[in-house]
Structures are given as structure tokens and as C-alpha cells.
Structure 1
Amino acid sequence: MTFDTRSSSLPRNATLYRVDSAHFFDGDGDGRGDLAGVLLQLDYFTRLGVDGLVLTRHDRRGLAEGYWQAIADRLQQAGLSLWLEEYRHYRSWPQGQILPLCTLVDHGPVGLTHWLEKRAQGGAAIWATGGQDLARVVSRCGGGDLKVALPYLALLACLPGPVSLWQGEELGLPHAAELGDTRGNRSPLPWVEYPEQPSHPMQRRVAAEHRAMAISRQEQEPDSPLNQCRRLLQWRRRQPLVANGRIDVTGLHDGLLWVRLVGEQPSLTVVLNLLPYRQHHHLPPQTRGWQAELTLGQAEMSDDHTLNLGGFAAAIVRPKEQE
């Protein structure tokens, strides 16, 4: 099965970040998140490697539409575009380009089959794994195992076509409530590891499940979800097959998903282990063999070109080129 997206003014390798300003960062010191806080943290988005911000419907309440031009100007200075969330689609500001939002809503590997079938229908769209009305993907698809963030981030990173991260997905945050309670993904973003500090009143409301996953801690850990996400988005930006290629879904079996990117450049194969135990994937024979381009989690390739993937690990490999 092969598929592609139609032409769009948004680059096909673009990554958008869907921000909920009320729970992102407090910019005026009143203990609540706000748009001022979003603008104070523009460096966070550029370091993450995203290309634009999507503001939710809640962000627009009580604000004159002319205000958005001032925000767009600030974002443009940081190299970011502005998008506004509508009902099941995003609208760019100020051009008004509209792209539908397609989100994984089912559970685990079975849900991916449904998602990729929708992807095969083509057309310009934004692809995502989470949103403000859904339980977080770590809890929805991994039973709360925090390692499940890596293969889903890798899947987003390899898709040719614009994708969207929901606030906190880059940190691998679990859902902070029962799965049916959407408040579980609206806990304030954990900026500091010790939220009891009086200088951060908003941080005192951070969910207990998220405090050990604070940005201040993840910044210092090379293999944290945040730094792994940065690696993936940097790879996504420079990978020609993401910008110009197409995807051939070659298999989904027992929680092991492999996806092949093809185009004018040599092909890439992305293999994701969506289950918590070790699995093996045998790569097809190649004249010169295979080489690993990027691995996440416990992933290694044996001499016979078998990928050994630990629980929730991922690997991006390519055929070896002529030396």
C-alpha cells in the first residue's frame, strides 16, 4: 500500500506544536498560564525543532481577531508560523489555509492499522497522536509505560506530511487522571523538578505523575523523551524522503510495525516495537547489507541484519551505499 499527500503551502516535513496556553507557562505571575507565557518561551519551541504553533479554541476567547497579527509577528521573528485550531482542522493565520486533523483514536497497534488506512486516502492533512480531548498516548496505547512515547514519536517523525505534537508529548507524559477524564492531559507543563518553589506558583499544581519528568531534569538526561524528540525532529528536517518521498507500509504484526520510505533517494525502513517485550525483525536481503541511521531505546542490528528491538524501541535503517 502506498500513499502520498497532495500539494500544500505547509512543507511536508513540517512539525506543528499544539499548545494549551492556560496550562503551558505563567507569563504574568498570576498562577495561570497565558499567551504571554507562550511568547516568553519561544526558545523552547525552536530548540525542540517545531515549525509552528497551534493555539486552541480556548486561547481565543475574549480576544479581538486583530490581536492574532501581533502574535503572528512575534512567532515569525522566531521562525514559527501561527495556526488556529478549529473543529477538527487547523487554520493558518493570516493566509487562512485549512488542513484537516487526523488523529489516532483507537488503542495500540490495532489503532495504527486504522490510522494508516486513513493516511492512504491521501490529501493534505495534519497527522497527530494526541489532543486536548484524548487521553495521552502513553496511557492510551502503552498502559502507562513511559517508554511507549519513543516509537510513537518516531512514527510521527517519519511520516511524509505535516504532523502535530500535543503539548507534553515531547516529554512522554502519562495521563494524569482516569482515561475518560480529559483533565488528565491539561495539568500544567512541568518546567521545574521542585514545584514547591514559591517563585513558581503555577508549578505547584503540576500532576504528581509528571513532577519527576520536569523539563529541568529532562534537559540534563541525554536519553530523556525530550532529547530523543529533539533528535527525531532534527532528523525529520534534514531527511529528503520525509519532504519528498512516499510511504509503503510493509507490515504490522504482533505489535511490530515496519514502514518503508521510498523516493528519489535511497529508501529508509522504520521499525517500531509497540509492545513492552523484546522482538526481532528480519530485514530483507540487500547486496551490501544494512546500516542503522537512528536508534531509540534498546535497539541493535546483528551481523545477519536482524534488528533486535527491546520493549518500545525503534530503529531507522537504510541499505548500505557503494563505498
Structure 2
Amino acid sequence: MRRADAHAGRGEQPWWWDAVCYQVDVGSFADGDGDGVGDLAGLTGRLGYLDLLGVDAVVLAGAAGLDPSAAPFAELLGEARKASMRVMVSLDVDPARSDPGPVLLPWVEHGADGFHLAPRPDPAGAIVAALAGYPDRVVIGSGPGDWHLSFNLDLAVAGFDAERVRKAITDVFASPGSRQAWAMASRDTEQCRDDAALTPVRAMALVQLALPGAVCLRHGEELGLPGTQRVRMPWEGDRPPFGFSTAEADWSSIPADWVTFTAEAQLEDATSTLSLYRHALETRRRHPAFTGDDVEWFGAPDGCLAFRRTGTTLICALNTSPDRVPLPPGEVLLTSRPLESGELPPGTAAWLV
């Protein structure tokens, strides 16, 4: 079943309703022409990886210098369509200072499926007005505005504390507004170089992916890399630049110990962070319990939380305490770390039905 078919099987909701949006900093993702800088050709050549990961939409960051009318963008669109993927563009548009139309319309006229806009207020609805002739285009925005999806970093701000995570989720669903696009990675995220550092990252990934709404990932997040957009993607091999480019250059800024974080290494490891993301995204897309547009809470031990997606059997449990705790009743679908004697270990999340 292709992604489009999986989403269509859940009723009449639009494709973006629960979409996985993967933001790529074009200059840091993949170098297709060997000049040492990432480009659209490099991204096009790596779409198979995004298809394997389970991405619904590729969001182009660093797109200000790109030409939507040029062949590389058309080629990217064509290959993305074959993989049932959408292509969106991340832009910094300030409707209070300029007409957004000349910035946005060239992209939609050449096939872009929508935009992820920088956090700018749009009280007069100028962006919506600019796209009035393209009702099928999607806008992910921040703050006040008539967006399809509201970019939300509340989980990232909450940190790894069950009470604060629960409050962040509760506050979001208590407030009226656009459907959420949950994001975890921030530009200040540190490198997760060992299992202890990856433990909360993996657990919060399952919390994020269990919530109603879309999700926004940054490239490399699924590998346990820092959230900053300028991280060069490590693809394969045993030394920098790990397949990012064929250029002969000084790659000393890429840590040599990323050898264990490459996509190649993690695809071969069933216990890796990448394998967890792949499994989680596939389960989220295919399992019938991932519906419902709200959450209801269960009682949980101190330092823990458990919620169910309303109207479904899906339960997400999170343990941020220092102790093992019993699981809620149900069949375990996925855990961020192995269970210990049938219980949820510290720093672990689980999905059950």
C-alpha cells in the first residue's frame, strides 16, 4: 500500500491531516554535482531513502536562492510524484512589509504543494489571499494566522518530564486553532552520541508520533543527529563526508565518529534510531488505531503519563521516572527501548492497543 492509499483509507481527510513533513536544508543534504554544496539534484537522488523512511512531504529549506522554473526543481517534483511524495517550500515571508504574492506564486505555478512559513503574524490574511487561486496548496505557519497546520514546538520546550509534557499537550488541545504540526528538533539540540543521550530522544519520538496531527522532522533527526538545519547528512562509508559529496575538500567539520550514525549503518541495525523511526512511521501510517483528533488521559505513576487517542484503542505511555513501572493493559505495538521483565524501563515510551 502506497502512502496516498493508506491515508485515503481513513476517510475524507486531506493528505496533510496526519502527514510526515521532512524538512531538508538543501545545501546540507546531498551534493549531486560534486562541488561540495548540497543541491536539488542531490536531493532527487536520495528520494529513495525518504520513501523508505515513510515521508509524505519534502520541505525545502534554504530555498531562497533556488529557481522554481529551472529543470532541477521540475525533476525533483517528477520523481517525488512517482514516490507519492509532495514537495513544499520553507520561506521567510513578512506580509506586514511586502506583498507575499510575488514570493509564493512562482513556486505554486511551477508545482509546489505548499509552504512552511517563518513565524510572522498575518493578521490581514495576506498569505491566504495570495493563494486564493490555489485552494489545494497547504500552509504550515506559526502564531496567529489562517493556517492549514500550526507548527508546534511545545513538546521540545517541555523537555523530558512527564508532567510538563502532559501540560504542553493538554494546553494545545484546550486552545482553538489550526491542526497541529508537531516538531521536536530545535537548533540548540546537542549531538546524541551515546545510548544514554538517545534514550529521551527515542522516547519523545514515540510521543510525538502518537499524537493527532501532522509531524515535522528535520533532516538527520531520525538518525539522532543535532536539530540544526546546517548538519551535513551522513549517508554511508567510514570517513567524512560520509557520502554527502564527492568533492575533495576539508571535511574536518564533520565528526569522524559519525561513522555509526550514517544512514547506511543504521539501516543495517534493527535497534538503531533510524530503524525505530521507520517502524514507528510505518505503524502510524498503516495501523487502524491511529485516528481520532483528541486525547484522553489515564492515571499514571509519578514521572509517567499515558494517553489514548480518542475513539481508538491506541495508548501511548511514557516513563520519565528513575524506576520501572507497569505497562497499561494492551498489546504492545512498539517501544523506544526493550521492556524489562514486562515493565516500562526509565526513559522509555510504548505504544499499545
What interval of TM-score do these two structures reach, taking the shorter chain for normalisation?
Answer: 0.7 to 0.9
RCO higher in structure (CA 8 A, sep ≥6): 1
Q: Report the counterpart of residue 96 of structure 1 in structure 2.
A: 137
1:280 aligns with 2:325: yes
Report the Cα offset of residue 66 of structure 1: 6.8
Measured after TM superposition, the shift of residue 62 of structure 1 is 4.4
**2:294 matches 1:236:** no
Distance 1:244 1:114, change over 3 A: closer
| CA-CA distance at 1:143 after TM superposition | 11
Q: Is this contact kept in 1: 2:44–2:75, CA < 8 A?
A: no
Instruction: Label 1:256 to 1:186 Cα distance change in 2 as closer, same or farther (>3 A).
Output: farther
What is the CA-CA distance between 1:208 and the residue it aligns to? Answer: 4.1
The answer for the alignment partner of 2:336 in structure 1 is 296
Q: Distance in 1 between matches of 2:344 and 2:85?
A: 35
> 1:12: Cα distance to partner?
2.9
Unpaired stretches in structure 1, ≥5 consecutive residues: 1-6, 176-181, 284-288, 303-307, 319-323
Q: Does 1:155 align with 2:155?
A: no
The residue that corresponds to 2:234 in the other structure is 190
Write out per-residue CA displacement over residues 99-154 of structure 1, whole angstroms, 9 at most, x where no aligned residue.
321113423326524531224425323111124xx222776xx9971222211211
Amino acid at match of 2:333: E
Residue from 346, 349, 352 that aligns with 1:311: 346
Instruction: State the one-letter code of the partner of 1:96.
Output: R
TM-score, structure 2 normalization = 0.70
- Secondary structure of the structure 1 residue equivalent to 2:331: strand
| TM-score (normalised: structure 1) | 0.75
Alignment partner of 2:201: what SS? helix
* Structure 2 unaligned residues grouped into runs of 5+: 1-11, 95-103, 105-111, 115-133, 140-148
Separation of aligned partners in 2, 1:163 and 1:20: 17
| DSSP 3-state at the match of 1:145 | helix
Amino acid of the structure 2 residue aligned with 1:220: E
* 1:35-78 C-alpha deviation (Å, 9 max, x unpaired): 1111000100010011111111x123242467655533331111
**Distance in structure 2 (CA, Å) of the matches to 1:252 and 1:20:** 39
RMSD: 3.4
Kindly tell me the number of residue pairs found equivalent between the two proteins.
286
Q: Greater share of strand residues, 1 or 2?
A: 1
Q: Is the 8 A contact 2:21 2:55 kept in 1?
A: yes
Q: Aligned residue for 1:270?
A: 316
Task: Tell me if the contact between 2:160 and 2:200 (Cα under 8 Å) persists in the aligned partners.
Answer: no
Aligned AA for 2:347? F
- In structure 2, C-alpha distance between the alignment counterparts of 1:52 and 1:240, rounded to whole Å: 21
Q: What is the SS of the residue equivalent to 1:316?
A: strand
Question: Does residue 1:115 correspond to 2:168, yes or no?
Answer: yes
Determine helix, strand or coil for the equivalent of 1:194.
coil
Match of 1:124 in 2: 179
Q: CA deviation at 1:221?
A: 0.8
